[in-house]
Amino acid sequence: MDVIKLMEEAIENERHAVDMYRQGAEAAEDPETRSIFEQLARWEEEHEKILRERLATLKMIRGQL
């Protein structure tokens, strides 16, 4: 499979994880659990950011921008 396609799928997976953890935070009944889910969502957002930056670089190298 093409690396660009894999990275695009990974970005989508990170976005899905952010949504899932945000839902968990909303559903949490105690502050500690809510905080854990919020932290997980922030980590996934950072992963997504890193992947998007790398994808843009890869596309630029390949002349696909």
Q: What is the pLDDT of residue 63?
A: 85
The class level of CATH for 3-62 reads mainly alpha
Name the residue type at position 61. I
User: Which residue in 14, 24, 23, 12 sits closest to 45, CA to CA?
Assistant: 14
Q: What is the pLDDT of residue 65?
A: 55
> CA 65 to CA 63: how far, in whole Å?
6
Q: What is the pLDDT of residue 54?
A: 97
Give pLDDT tens digits for 16-59. 999 999 999 999 999 999 999 999 999 999 999 999 999 999 99
Domain ranges for the chain, please list them. 3-62
d(CA 42, CA 51): 14
Q: What is the pTM of this model?
A: 0.86
